[in-house]
A and B are shown apart, each in its own frame.
Chain A
Amino acid sequence: EDKVVQSPLSLVVHEGDTVTLNCSYEVTNFRSLLWYKQEKKAPTFLFMLTSSGIEKKPGRLSSILDKKELFSILNITATQTGDSAVYLCAHGGATNKLIFGTGTLLAVQP
């Protein structure tokens, strides 16, 4: 059965800290690994990775995928209070099936 496991479940940091969120997966047909941010409402898309390596966005977010070891990392540098959210990792399968982990709740304190 396809599975996505995220850690830690929750994390409290101070503004300016760097955080690393973890995602491991077990899948039968890997197609992609996605990261989403969820504040009060719907999840919003951050990254999609299809091959091992690093993906960066302008700013403070980056993500790494290791297809050999079946894990991904989301890094946030110089955290701000606006980064407080639930971060969700998802696996996209061969038939476009999208399975989510339970998420990491990040709280950034001033």
Chain B
Amino acid sequence: DAGVIQSPRHEVTEMGQEVTLRCKPISGHNSLFWYRQTMMRGLELLIYFNNNVPIDDSGMPEDRFSAKMPNASFSTLKIQPSEPRDSAVYFCASSLKDGEAFFGQGTRLTVV
């Protein structure tokens, strides 16, 4: 298995633009997580899905952030409009129920 695949690896965008981050979880995993990592706040859970259903989105910072999981093999995290304070590394992870989470390589987002 190729592991969790995220794209793009790097994204530089201007303030106000829409940003879409993509994730392909490990086949067969039924939980998917989106995290944001910064030096100041560490690894923050934004939202997670079980069996494609959003379970807890209390970590989504504001309405500019949205996430979808249309099927078991794909998820997106969208920021619209983006702001400089959204600059961070965004990780996607997947797991089996009661199992450890496996992380993708992350998307480094820079909003200028």
Residues of chain A touching chain B, judged by Cβ–Cβ distance below 8 Å, are 31-32, 34, 41-45, 48, 88, 90, 92, 95-103
Whether A31 pairs with B98 at a CB distance below 8 angstroms is: yes
Whether B100 pairs with A96 at a CB distance below 8 angstroms is: no
Query: How many angstroms from the CA of A92 to the CA of B101 in the assembled complex?
Result: 10
Given contacts A31-B98, A43-B91, 16 further A-B contacts (CB under 8 A): A34-B101, A42-B91, A42-B103, A42-B105, A44-B103, A45-B101, A96-B48, A96-B55, A96-B97, A97-B48, A98-B33, A98-B48, A98-B93, A98-B101, A100-B35, A102-B43
Whether A42 pairs with B104 at a CB distance below 8 angstroms is: yes
**What are 6 of the A-B contact pairs (CB < 8 Å)?**
A42-B104, A88-B43, A96-B98, A98-B93, A102-B43, A103-B42
Asked if B82 CB lies within 8 Å of chain A CBs, one says: no
From A35, which residue of chain B is reached at the shortest CB distance? B100
Query: How many angstroms from the CA of A100 to the CA of B100 in the assembled complex?
Result: 13
Asked if B75 CB lies within 8 Å of chain A CBs, one says: no
* A-B pair number, CB within 8 angstroms: 54
CB distance from B38 to the nearest CB of A (A): 10
Q: How many residues of B contact A (CB 8 A)?
A: 24
Query: How many angstroms from the CA of A44 to the CA of B33 in the assembled complex?
Result: 15
Q: Which of A41, A100, A102 meets B45, CB within 8 Å?
A: A100
Q: Which of B12-37 contact A (CB under 8 A)?
A: 31, 33, 35
CB distance from B46 to the nearest CB of A (A): 12
Q: Which residues of B contact A88 (CB under 8 A)?
A: 43
Whether A34 pairs with B100 at a CB distance below 8 angstroms is: yes
Whether B103 pairs with A43 at a CB distance below 8 angstroms is: yes
Q: Which residues of B contact A102 (CB under 8 A)?
A: 41-43
Query: How many angstroms from the CA of A31 to the CA of B101 in the assembled complex?
Result: 14
